[in-house]
């Protein structure tokens, strides 16, 4: 968790503290994933929530992070009535 607004560098630091961080940085011979490409996705979601008061919730699942690049494959947004 972090207070808004978050910057990409802060997101990368937060991701590095996750229990699954070894999976992002390369584990048992697998390549490291592009955490630098994941950080802008997180900051864009945070910015969308801050910019639009009608947004109550955004869920992004899954996010595909590859050795080069990251992309959100599905998302759902809930707005206030």
Q: Shortest CA distance to 69 belongs to which of 28, 39, 45, 26?
A: 39
Instruction: Indicate the fold that domain 8-79 takes in CATH.
Output: D-amino Acid Aminotransferase; Chain A, domain 1 (3.30.470)
As a whole number of Å, the end-to-end CA separation of the chain is: 27
Cα–Cα dist 74/59, whole Å: 8
pLDDT in tens, 46-56: 999 999 999 99
Express each pLDDT in 63-79 by its tens digit.
999 999 999 999 999 99
- What's this model's pTM, rounded to 2 decimal places? 0.83
Per-residue pLDDT tens for 18-28? 999 999 999 88
Q: Residue 35 — very low, low, confident or very high, per pLDDT cuts 50/70/90?
A: very high
CA distance 56 to 12: 25
Q: So where are the chain's domains?
A: 8-79
Beta-bridged to residue 76, according to DSSP, are 59
Q: What token pair was written down for 44?
A: 């864009």
């Amino acid at each position: 968790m972090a207070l808004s607004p978050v910057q990409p560098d802060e997101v990368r630091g937060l991701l590095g503290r996750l229990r699954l961080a070894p999976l992002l940085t390369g584990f048992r011979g697998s390549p490291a994933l592009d955490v630098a490409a994941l950080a802008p996705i997180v900051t864009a979601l945070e910015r969308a929530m801050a910019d639009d008061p009608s947004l109550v919730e955004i869920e992004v699942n899954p996010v595909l992070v590859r050795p080069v690049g990251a992309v959100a494959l599905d998302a759902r947004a809930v707005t206030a009535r």
